[in-house]
Amino acid sequence: MLHDSLSLELHSKSLSVTDLSSWTVRIEDGLLVRETAPGLRLDKSGLVPALQVKVDDDHLGQFVEVVDFLEVWSWNSHYDPEECGTRIFGGTSWSLSVKMDGRNCHASGENAYPSFADVNKTSLREERFGMLVAALEYIFSTQTGQIRIN
């Protein structure tokens, strides 16, 4: 495998009135695994099952390019809406842990994310985080037919 040491864990939990969802995506030991918290996310058939996809070198290489482009290695350890001068109750919390080739990132936020303009600044919009989730969905959907992460 191209990056034997790559591991990723991305978790999001939304507790708003209109959206109760919790999901985790991991890349570990050559597999992409998506899990949804029991009872929180439903589709037409009931609970969304865990998804496991074998990760090939091409798709993994594309994902690594996205991680580098989004400067994940420079993300702050935590993003808080108070850094934008506001307080938000409820909403979404998230965490990200990526380890690859001797580099690592541990970042999290509660209703706040790394700004697209500057990773050291906080934004109330998903910006870089949203791009990371979209990239996971896009890159690995070309391999699996359709993967929906959140």
Tell me what pLDDT residue 88 has. 83
Assigned token pair, 137: 């969905």
Structural domain boundaries of the chain?
7-144
In this prediction, residue 6 has a pLDDT band, given cuts at 50, 70 and 90, of: low
Q: List alpha helices for the chain, DSSP H.
A: 57-69, 127-144
Average pLDDT value over all residues in the chain: 76
Residue 112 predicted with pLDDT over 50: yes
- The full length of the chain comes to 150
Tell me what pLDDT residue 77 has. 96
CA distance 143 to 55: 8
In this prediction, residue 15 has a pLDDT band, given cuts at 50, 70 and 90, of: low
pLDDT (average), residues 129-142: 81
Q: Read off the amino acid at residue 93.
A: S
In this prediction, residue 47 has a pLDDT band, given cuts at 50, 70 and 90, of: very low
CATH level 2 (architecture), domain 7-144:
2-Layer Sandwich (3.30)
CA distance 24 to 136: 12
Share of the chain above pLDDT 90, in %: 27
DSSP structure class, residue 135: H
> Is-contact 123 131, C-beta < 8 A?
no
By CB neighbour count within 10 A (0-12 exposed, 13-18 middle, 19+ buried), where does 32 fall? buried
* 113-114 and 31-36 strand pairing: unpaired
pLDDT (average), residues 105-125: 93
Tell me what pLDDT residue 1 has. 40
> CB atoms < 10 A from the CB of 1, how many?
11
CA distance 84 to 8: 28
What pTM, to 2 d.p., does this model score?
Answer: 0.75
CA distance 90 to 86: 13
> Is-contact 41 117, C-beta < 8 A?
no
